[in-house]
Amino acid sequence: MRKTLLVAVYALVSITAFAQSGSGFGIKAGLNYNQNGDLSFRDAVSSSSEDIIAGSDGKIGYHIGFFGKLDFPKIYLRPEIIYTKTKSDYSSNGINSEYDISKLDVPVLLGYKIVGPLSVFAGPAFQYTLDNDLKDLQVEDVKNDFSVGLHMGVGVNLGNIGVDVRYERGFSENEADFIGENITGSDISGRVDSRPSQIIFGLSLKL
């Protein structure tokens, strides 16, 4: 996976260098509405022996990064390097925590021009987790620092300005273990799935 990410980064640098005399390159930023996967935990004092599963509530995060774009008559290739900060809320069984994740995303998108400035696109997103934090609970590193997801969406380009809306989904579970206490003071432990499911609103500027 590390070699794949390095290849993707190299491709972005190469295409960006070419794009300066051809298609284009630039910067982008935007907002992310994210929900991570389930949180499962076990109360060490409770008489129940079953794990309790809690889904997350979505919250607003953000992203900022760079892109390169290589145009062809009806299609285009757009690799990106993006720093992303996502947030999710968990509230169940005495746990009220905000789960923050910082990661580096490298989407490699293939787009199709439908008509005029309107296009659709999709492609894999190679992800490297930089940090994860579950408020007052002690969280270990995620199981896999490197993971792969999918980006797909629709975009509009008006001159040097581009706007897109996309959906991101992680392909596989990527859990992190945690330990701590609930509001009653009972010891708890469990796992949280860091896999993203998010709607991304982006604004890009061609330089």
**Reduced to 3 states, what is the DSSP secondary structure of residue 4?**
helix
- Distance, in Å, from the CA atom of 120 to the CA atom of 116, rounded to the nearest integer, reads 12
3-state helix, strand, coil in the chain (%, to 5): 10, 70, 20
What order do you get walking across the sheet with 175-181 strand by strand?
52-54, 39-43, 187-193, 175-181, 138-139
Domain ranges for the chain: 2-206
Q: What string of pLDDT tens digits covers the 207 residues of the chain?
A: 555 555 555 555 454 444 333 478 999 999 999 877 667 766 555 545 456 566 666 788 999 999 999 999 899 999 999 999 988 777 766 666 777 888 999 999 999 999 989 999 999 999 888 887 777 666 666 666 788 899 999 999 888 899 999 999 887 766 666 666 555 555 666 677 767 788 999 999 999
In CATH, what class is 2-206? mainly beta
User: Model-level pTM?
Assistant: 0.74
